[in-house]
Structure 1
Amino acid sequence: MTEPSFSGGCQCGAVRYRVEGALSYPHICHCRMCQKASGNYFMALAGADHARFSITRGQPSWFHSSDQVRRGFCAACGTPLFFESVGDDHIAITLGSLDDPSALPPVSQDGVEGRVPFFHALSGLREKLTDRSDLPGGNDAIAASNHQHPDHDTETWPKESKP
């Protein structure tokens, strides 16, 4: 049986990474530090051994959210990518930065003391598809001018401009 591998990266494609082997303990963290680092109600993470983890393009920037922990992100587009306890042999990957974020459903909710009180009600909210008809050209114009890196490894990025 083939061992799994995972790739991912930031929104602009400046930083890409790969994990050879399984990711462990996919979870969402509701702690206030993860809320601030993600700019969201929670951060989804899974762990990898450093020995199986590599940066395949660019270099992340790092912010020490405490003396014990640092968080890696893309300095060009701001995408949160990693969480790492200083000196540990593991690194946590943000699940949303994976090329296939649906590959690892969370198994736990951590840091629940920071969970927003209405979190349990989010699944009951009205659902709708993306509609940017408020912009010239709407969704089609956004798709035609998308600068986001695709959800797979590329030899070069950004795309070469056509003459």
Structure 2
Amino acid sequence: MHTGSCNCGGVVFEIDGELAPPSVCHCGQCRKQSGHFWSSTGINKTQLRLTSEETLRWYNASETAKRGFCGTCGAFLFWAHNDENQISVAMGALDAPTGVQLSRHIFVADKGDYYDISDGLPQRGQ
């Protein structure tokens, strides 16, 4: 069991089961939403249990996906494709220890020009 929350505690959740190795997304939407790149783990939606969701808001980021965030503190918590049973959960929202390590970088073609990726992990352009 893993637990997590937003900054103010308005959104609190539990994840049942193991976490997949997280990836780091460098796409323009994740960078704008988070203020930098965004790291998440993908889980099946059935593994996620919201124990408090009073301030959870969803933003339709595109025709195919939405982003979940706290309407009070603004924490960016979830990303979900409309037609998939998987949801991405922000690594920064999870309580330690998570027991996982970063596995890869995605959308590196969109990364900011103000930083380099030099950790040796696999990189996917698009």
TM-score (norm 1): 0.67
State the SS of the aligned residue for 2:59: strand
- Out of 31, 44, 49, the residue aligned to residue 49 of structure 1 is 44
Partner of 1:30: 26
Amino acid at match of 2:103: V
Q: Secondary structure at the match of 1:119?
A: coil
1:119-138 superposed matches below 5 A? 119-120=115-116
* Contact 1:95–1:104, Cα closer than 8 Å, also in 2: no
Match of 1:109 in 2: 105
Runs of 4+ in 1 over 4 A off after TM superposition: none
**Percent identity of equivalent pairs:** 29
Q: Does 1:14 align with 2:10?
A: yes
What is the CA deviation profile of residues 105-150 of structure 1, one whole-angstrom value per residue up to 9, with x for unaligned ones?
2100001011123422799xxxxxxxxxxxxxxxxxxxxxxxxxxx
Q: Partner of 1:69 in structure 2?
A: 65
Using the alignment, how far apart are the partners of 1:89 and 1:23 within structure 2?
A: 15
Give the direction of change, closer, same or farther, for the CA distance of 1:121–1:53 in structure 2 (3 Å limit).
closer
Query: How many equivalent residue pairs?
Result: 118
Deviations 1:49-86 (A, max 9, x none): 11111101124100011010100000011000000001
Partner of 2:92: 96
Equivalent AA in structure 2 for residue 46 of structure 1: T
Shift of 1:102: 5.8
Rounded Cα–Cα distance in structure 2 between residues aligned with 1:51 and 1:102:
19
Q: Secondary structure at the match of 2:22?
A: strand
User: Residues 13 and 94 of structure 1: is their aligned pair in 2 closer, same or farther, counting only changes over 3 Å?
Assistant: same
2:122 equivalent in structure 1 = none
8 A Cα contact 1:28 1:108, kept in partner: yes
Q: Where do 5+ consecutive residues of structure 2 fail to align?
A: 120-126
SS in structure 2 at match of 1:66: coil
Task: State whether structure 2 residue 53 is matched by structure 1 residue 58.
Answer: yes
Which structure has the bigger radius of gyration? 1
Write the distance in 2 (CA, Å) between the matches of 1:82 and 1:115. Answer: 20
Q: Distance in 1 between matches of 2:114 and 2:100?
A: 24
Ranges in structure 1 where 5+ consecutive residues have no aligned partner: 124-163
